[in-house]
Amino acid sequence: MKKNRLTILMSVMAFILVFTCVLAISGNVSVSAAEESAAEAVEADSTGDKAMAAGIVVGLAAAAGAIGMGIAVAKSTESMARQPEIAGKINSTMMLGMVFIETAIIYALVIAILIIFVL
């Protein structure tokens, strides 16, 4: 049952991530050159869309990372309680996993910055 909930959660998060990327890219579309005032309005709207997409991307990555870190800490604490003699190995492995999770969150932040300034 837990795997089904996790699969559904990951599917929803993937859908939201794809939706925000499409929102950021579609906000970059401009109108004809004859309507400059309308083009400025569209550009202002696309800036807001980009900011919203970047915020959603960073928020989702941070939320997923926090959930992953919480699960990792809970499981490692549980395993250290069961086998205290290898607590040092479990702790170092957990820290390495935390670094990888945090790296994924930092990559999401870099992508959000690229969405804002490059697209």
3-state helix, strand, coil in the chain (%, to 5): 90, 0, 10
Mean pLDDT of all residues in 86-105: 92
Q: What is the pLDDT, as a whole number, of residue 46?
A: 73
The CATH code of the domain that includes 97 is 1.20.20.10
pLDDT per position as a tens digit, 22-75: 666 665 545 454 455 555 655 666 777 888 888 888 888 899 999 999 999 999
Position 9 pLDDT exceeds 70: no
Which region among 39-43, 74-78, 106-110 has the lowest average model confidence (pLDDT)?
A: 39-43
Residue 90 near residue 76, CB atoms below 8 Å? yes
Q: How many domains does one find in the chain?
A: 1
Q: What is the pLDDT, as a whole number, of residue 20?
A: 65
Domain encompassing residue 73: 2-117
Measured distance CA(101)–CA(67) in Å, rounded: 10
